[in-house]
Amino acid sequence: MSRRRRIYEGKAKVLYEGPEPGLLVQYFKDDATAFNNEKKGVIDGKGVLNNRISEYLFTRLSEIGVPTHFIRRLNMREQLIREVEIIPVEVVVRNVAAGSISKRLDIPEGTNLPRSIVEYYFKNDELNDPMISEEHITAFGWANPSEIDDMLSISLRINDFLSGLFFGVGIRLIDFKLEYGRLWQEEEMRIVLADEISPDSCRLWDIESDKKLDKDRFRRYLGNIAEAYREVAQRLGIIQETNIEELSNTKADLTVRGKS
């Protein structure tokens, strides 16, 4: 791995130069951060699970015609992706109130929203990803109106599809965050889904018990984080209960090693 050129290192993933121009390798780390880096930890096996869950979801989405950067999974922690120019806008889709919308608008967590709500955030750690509107996106040139239209319609389609997919395995898709990039192919540019979709970027609650099966277990010190991510992978049929250990490079020790 050290032979490869590292292009970018984020909080939960590293991007390496790929085998040919236009391709990158996306490596999933076990690191977890929350509250803009204030809370840090390592969750053994998280990267392996997110690699598999994101592979599964991106594959299902491309089957219904959603364009994505994903090509194929390479190994336990890596996937081959197309290099795109990331649009610095995080698109959040919400079905049920939780997290920041509950705080901001004083809506109890778990309240069904009257309809799905899409929000935009400026992808900027120094500014703590502030919420923005379409006006900001176009005025500052982060994306043009047609790109915003594309991101909005693809995001709503993803929401419908993933809500059904998770419902089928007894999970409520509360909210999630998407990122998009520009991909140039033969003089043409199109908007494609990038980054990852995993329990790090979604809120997933068990339909019966409301048990949280996502990163809120880390944010809120609820414990058993990797077990919850594993449960998501198992319910989706990605892994069988019998070969859980094989998934992880590390032993099936699921404790969080807190750094702070």
Binding site for ligand UDP (CB under 6 A): 90, 92, 98-101, 129, 175-177, 201-203, 215
Least Å distance, CB 6 to ligand UDP, is 22
195: left (phi over 0), alpha (psi -120 to 50) or beta: left
Least Å distance, CB 175 to ligand UDP, is 4
Bridging pattern class, strands 13-17 and 70-73: unpaired
Least Å distance, CB 100 to ligand UDP, is 3
Whichever of 67 and 99 has its CB closer to ligand UDP, that residue is: 99
Whichever of 69 and 203 has its CB closer to ligand UDP, that residue is: 203
Give residue number: closest CB to ligand UDP. Answer: 99
CB-side neighbour CA atoms (13 Å) of 175? 25
Least Å distance, CB 194 to ligand UDP, is 13
Amino acid at the residue 218 = F
Bridging pattern class, strands 112-122 and 39-43: unpaired
Whichever of 14 and 92 has its CB closer to ligand UDP, that residue is: 92
Whichever of 202 and 225 has its CB closer to ligand UDP, that residue is: 202
Least Å distance, CB 241 to ligand UDP, is 26
Whichever of 62 and 102 has its CB closer to ligand UDP, that residue is: 102
Q: How far apart are CA 192 and CA 122, in angstroms?
A: 18
Helical H segments across the chain, by residue range: 46-63, 99-105, 134-139, 145-167, 216-219, 225-235, 244-247
Amino acid at the residue 203 = R
Q: How far apart are CA 183 and CA 179, in angstroms?
A: 13
